[in-house]
Amino acid sequence: MIRSLRGRLFIGLTAIILLTGAIGGMFAYRWAFDEAIELQDSILVQLASLAQNASFSGGQPLHGVEEDSEVWLIELGKTPSGVTDDRQLFTLPDGLQAAMWKNQPVRMLLRTRPDGSRFAVAQPTTVRDETARDVAFRTLLPIAALIPCLMVVTALVIAYSLRPMVQLAGDLDARRADDMTSLPLSGVPSELHPFISSINGLFKRMRLLRDQQRRFVADAAHELRTPITALSLQAENLETVALPKRARERVATLKQGMHRTKHLLEQLLALARHEALPSGPAGMPLAALDQAAKEAAADLLAEASDRGIDLGFAIVEPLTVHGEPAMLAAIIRNLLENALRFTPRGGTIDIGVYQEDSTAVLQVEDTGPGIPSIDMDQIFEPFFRGSRPEGEGTGLGLAIVKRIVDSLGGGIALENIAGAGRSGLRVTVRLPIAGDLKSSADVGSGA
């Protein structure tokens, strides 16, 4: 059983070509053979007409263009001579017939002249058949030459006809896992339309399901936020109450748990919010990337100096990109929080905001351990925290950053910095540039 459509078509069509060739060849051979025999008969008739008025003696061979295409002229006279062959010939009627001459089968034309003398023109059957076979065989050559040509043409036509299908499969393979946009029907052969419509129907159902799921996560996170905030306030109120030492310890643990839960809810909400956004920077407002970076850095500066980390700008150029300021803030904040969490005391975090060709680049470099290469493939997956997670995190930060960067039409790259005596992670975010904001703050370093 051949699985590929291409294989089936090719084998089927080749079989038809071969069968047609074989049957056609058989008929052509038969016809050409019969024609050649008839032609040779007419030559015998013509020779007999020429010999009608001539007289010759005994049997004489005539040779044509080819040495072995012998024709015999046989003079029989008026009465049978003593030769056995001659006597036998006298018993035969005038006309074309098969006979024996000199112990070999011949095709023979017997004639009687007006004066009563007889003669015969004869040609050995073996010679005639061989000539006819030669001629007939030559009619087969063009057919035999045509068959491979037809097979090549068939293969090309099949490949050309199936190309849209192969292309469709390639397009589907190359899709991102979360890309559920409908496949276009234009330019696709009509036979594939029902198939594409089914796939598009499936995509639509999956989109609906995904949207429902996102809405559920967003709603759940939103609903949980208020009670958690209320609980946090209660825990804070407890701190003002005079409590025994052990109870105070418990309250501190409780507050920490509250803090973690709030962070998780914030991240979940951010992820759900950014996932619901349509892709593409078109229609987004303009925002200053350098300003967003400075604000985020300023927010984290106190924490950085508490932990003995030198957080600052290596380069900052005024750059405007498409995007909500909150989106840019979320990108930078998540990257800086990661860098802060993983950079050991005494380390450095360098932020860069600059233009490269026609893209705006935001770069964050730290002096932490970097990300193990086995984690790199999954690093943008929600809840993935890598093989050596540090501190308390949700594993949602980079997933959020990736969603936002994608929806702004940009790209993100993570690379480990490996050099003499240093390690670290360099995160590079590229966003399409929107123009230069003249009012953007001056170039400076150290936020």
Ligand X SMILES: Nc1ncnc2c1ncn2[C@@H]1O[C@H](COP(=O)(O)OP(=O)(O)OP(=O)(O)O)[C@@H](O)[C@H]1O
Partner interacting with residue 395 (select from ligand X, Mg ion, none; CB below 5-8 Å by kind): ligand X
DSSP H/E element including 426? strand 425-435
In this structure, what token pair is assigned to residue 344? 């050991």
Stretch that binds ligand X, among 36-44, 149-157, 246-254, 383-391 (CB under 6 A): 383-391
339 contacts: CB under 8 Å, gap ≥ 6: 349, 364, 365, 366, 368, 425
Alpha-carbon distance of 318 to 289, in angstroms, equals 7
Q: Check binding of 347 to ligand X (CB under 6 A).
A: no
Q: Does residue 64 bind ligand X (CB under 6 A)? A: no
Which tokens sit at 256?
Answer: 């920490």
Position 397 contacts ligand X (CB under 6 A): yes
Please give the Cα distance from 334 to 44 (Å, whole number): 106
Q: Rounded CA gap, 274 and 402, in Å?
A: 10
Contact of 272 with 214, CB cutoff 8 Å: yes
Q: Which does 329 bind (CB under 5 to 8 A by kind): Mg ion, ligand X, none?
A: none
The yes or no reply on residue 338 touching ligand X (CB under 6 A) is: yes
Give yes or no for residue 339 binding ligand X (CB under 6 A).
yes
Task: Give the nearest distance from C-beta 240 to ligand X in angstroms.
Answer: 30
The DSSP string of 38-56 is HHHHHHHHHHHHHHTS---
How far, in Å, are 34, 56, 306 from residue 80 at the CA level?
34, 15, 141
**Binding span for Mg ion by CB under 5 A among 160-168, 175-183, 203-211, 335-343:** 335-343
State yes or no: residue 363 binds ligand X (CB under 6 A): no
A 10 A CB-CB count for 125 gives 16
Q: Is 423 strand, coil or helix?
A: coil
Asked if residue 389 binds ligand X (CB under 6 A), the reply is yes
The residue (of 340 and 447) whose beta carbon lies closer to ligand X is 340
**367 touches, from ligand X, Mg ion, none (C-beta below 5 to 8 Å by class):** none
Q: What beta strand segments (E) does 183-307 contain?
A: 286-288
> Which position among 318, 323, 393, 410 is part of the footprint of ligand X (CB under 6 A)?
393
Q: Tell me if 368 contacts ligand X by CB under 6 A.
A: yes
- Single out the residue of 40, 123, 338, 407 in contact with Mg ion (rule: CB under 5 A): 338
**Footprint (CB under 5 A) of Mg ion, residues 390-409:** 397
Q: Which 3 state secondary structure label does DSSP give 357?
A: coil
Residue 212, Ramachandran bin (φ over 0: left; ψ between -120 and 50: alpha; else beta): alpha
- Cα 344 to chain centroid, rounded: 47
Closest CB to Mg ion among residues 338, 407: 338
SS3 446: coil
292 binds ligand X, rule: CB under 6 A: no
Question: Residue 330's binding partner, choosing from ligand X, Mg ion, none, with beta-carbon cut-off 5 to 8 A by kind?
Answer: none
- Per DSSP bridges, beta strands 348-356 and 425-435 are unpaired
- Verify binding: residue 291, ligand X, rule CB under 6 A: no
> In whole angstroms, how close is the CB of 381 to ligand X at the nearest point?
9
Q: Quick one: which of 10, 342, 430, 447 contacts ligand X (CB under 6 A)? A: 342
425 part of the interface to ligand X, by CB under 6 A: yes
When asked if residue 367 is in the footprint of ligand X (CB under 6 A), the reply is: no
Q: Is 334 in the site for ligand X (CB under 6 A)?
A: yes
Q: Any contact of residue 25 with Mg ion (CB under 5 A)? A: no
Asked if residue 336 binds ligand X (CB under 6 A), the reply is: no
CB of 331 or CB of 371, closer to ligand X: 371
435 contacts ligand X (rule: CB under 6 A): no
Binding residue for ligand X, selected from 6, 111, 255, 385, defined by CB under 6 A? 385
Alpha carbon separation from 447 to 41, 63, 327, 425 (Å, rounded): 112, 114, 20, 20
Phi-psi map region of 395: left, alpha, beta (phi>0 left; psi -120 to 50 alpha): left
In this structure, what token pair is assigned to residue 393?
């995190």
Select the residue whose beta carbon is closest to ligand X and give its number.
397
- CA atoms 436, 438, 442, 446: torsion sign: negative
The entry of ligand X, Mg ion, none that residue 309 binds, CB within 5 to 8 Å by partner kind: none
Q: 174-181: which pairs have CB atoms within 8 A and are 24 or more residues apart?
A: 178/210, 180/204, 180/206, 180/207, 180/210
Site for ligand X in 211-270 (CB under 6 A): 267
Q: How far is the CB of 440 from ligand X (least distance, A)?
A: 27
Bridge partner list, 431: 360
Q: For ligand X, which is the closer residue by CB, 216 or 383?
A: 383
Q: Applying CB under 6 A, which residues contact ligand X?
A: 267, 334, 338-339, 342, 366, 368-371, 379, 385-386, 389, 393-399, 425
Q: Applying CB under 5 A, which residues contact Mg ion?
A: 338, 397
